[in-house]
Amino acid sequence: MDNDTGPNSAVQRFVQWAIKPPQSYAVYLVCLILVFTLSFYAGTLKPKQAPALSPVATPAAPRG
């Protein structure tokens, strides 16, 4: 089990590398910048304009 060469071993090696103190500060800073830029970008997007709907004509009740 120590010689796993599957896709998880690369992820596990990256996580093991990223949680050590010098790298963890850099990973945290990169994630913080990524979240800031994505939220800023999402805030600048304009929603799609819905087609203008004409007011619905309501039939008038007969008077009398």
The residue-averaged pLDDT of 7-16 equals: 86
42-58: b (≥16 Cβ within 10 Å) or e: eeeeeeeeeeeeeeeee
Burial tier of 27 (Cβ tally within 10 Å: 0-12, 13-18, 19+) = middle
Predicted local confidence at residue 62, as pLDDT: 74
* 7-18 and 21-44 helices, crossing angle to 10°: 100
Domain ranges of the chain: 7-44
* Per-residue tokens: 1: 């089990």
Q: In terms of pTM, does the model score above 0.85? A: no
Which has more pLDDT, 63 or 10?
10
pLDDT tens digit sequence for 20-37: 999 999 999 999 999 999
pLDDT digits 0-9 by tens, 33-60: 999 999 999 999 887 777 777 666 677 7
